[in-house]
């Protein structure tokens, strides 16, 4: 059965240099039906498109990640626009706010807003990163009303309900299997399966029992099992519904 859809991956990461092609081929000839590789800067957005050209089930998001911004970033918006025209570019991502890092907040907000305007212009969904920036992220989402995913969601159940009401999807990954995931489990409880999508953020955030090891899309099964437990259903049902959600949000059906 091909029922694993990884909505957020970084196979361009150097952790995959030794075996990238073998690994992606093996995953896509197994249970994984779709992967969206996220761009974090211009080079990684290009790399994502190159990977997408090689594999049927792999798609690219192109964008500027808050952690990767500098004085030149506002000048790169047009390049992102050009990359987004590629037939296998399905989203603008990974974009957003990260207040854990010292990148100036005004710069982050300006680039994030510009990326959301671009996505709106192109009628494309977005993949949003929000780390320790819940208030500003929600304010900006309410202003621009994008379609898409709030990835590796770390806000409250209340925020999740608001995001879902705005028509967005909540991205869940390996964190749901961690011992300290109480808040994340409350989020899963608070929103319907129809508003969830699954992801790895690989090579990071491997679920238990592989926590701390290199992650890949095959491990999504463990995330699905944990969500199934909370939703009193089967992992297969979680995979089936979240795959449909992923195909809907990325306009792949
Ligand atoms: Ni990411």
pTM over 0.95: yes
Q: What is the pLDDT of residues 233-248, one digit of tens each?
A: 999 999 999 999 999 9
Concatenated DSSP letters of 151-176: ET--S-HHHHHHHHHTT-EEEE-GGG
* Sequence ranges of the domains in the chain: 4-249
Distance 201 CA to ligand 1 centre (A): 5
* CA 163 to chain CA centroid, nearest Å: 15
Distance 253 CA to ligand 1 centre (A): 24
Distance 189 CA to ligand 1 centre (A): 24
Q: Is 224 exposed, middle or buried (0-12, 13-18, 19+ CB in 10 A)?
A: buried
Q: What is the pLDDT of residues 16-72, one digit of tens each?
A: 999 999 999 999 999 999 999 999 999 999 999 999 999 999 999 999 999 999 999
Pair 89, 122: CB distance under 8 Å: no
Architecture of the domain made up of 4-249:
Alpha-Beta Barrel (3.20)
pLDDT the model gives residue 253: 84
Distance 96 CA to ligand 1 centre (A): 11
Distance 203 CA to ligand 1 centre (A): 9
Q: What is the pLDDT of residues 108-139, one digit of tens each?
A: 999 999 999 999 999 999 999 999 999 999 99
Q: What is the pLDDT of residues 182-195, one digit of tens each?
A: 999 999 999 999 99
Q: Is 120 exposed, middle or buried (0-12, 13-18, 19+ CB in 10 A)?
A: middle
Q: Which of 241, 83, 234, 222 is nearest to 169 (CA)?
A: 241
The number of residues in the chain equals: 253
């Amino acid at each position: 059965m091909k029922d694993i859809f990884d909505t957020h991956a970084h196979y361009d990461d150097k952790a995959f240099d030794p075996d990238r092609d073998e690994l992606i081929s093996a995953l896509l000839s197994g249970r994984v039906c779709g992967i969206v590789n996220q761009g974090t800067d211009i080079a990684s957005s290009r790399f994502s498109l190159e990977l997408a050209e090689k594999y049927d089930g792999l798609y690219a998001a192109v964008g500027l990640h808050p952690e990767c911004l500098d004085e030149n970033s506002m000048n790169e918006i047009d390049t992102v626009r050009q990359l987004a025209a590629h037939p296998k570019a399905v989203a603008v991502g990974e974009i957003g706010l990260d207040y854990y890092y010292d990148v100036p907040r005004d710069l982050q907000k300006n680039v994030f807003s510009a990326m959301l305007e671009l996505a709106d212009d192109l009628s494309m969904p977005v993949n949003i990163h929000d780390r320790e920036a819940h208030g500003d992220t929600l304010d900006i989402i309410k202003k621009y009303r994008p379609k898409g995913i709030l990835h590796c969601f770390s806000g409250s159940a209340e925020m999740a309900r608001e995001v879902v009401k705005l028509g967005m999807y909540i991205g869940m990954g390996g964190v749901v299997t961690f011992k300290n995931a109480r808040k994340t489990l409350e989020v899963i409880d608070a929103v319907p399966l129809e508003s969830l999508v699954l992801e790895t953020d690989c090579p990071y955030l491997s679920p238990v029992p592989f926590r701390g090891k290199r992650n890949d899309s095959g491990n999504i099964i463990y995330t699905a099992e944990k969500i199934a437990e909370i939703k009193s259903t089967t992992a297969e049902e979680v995979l089936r519904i979240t795959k449909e959600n992923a195909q809907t949000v990325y306009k792949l059906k």
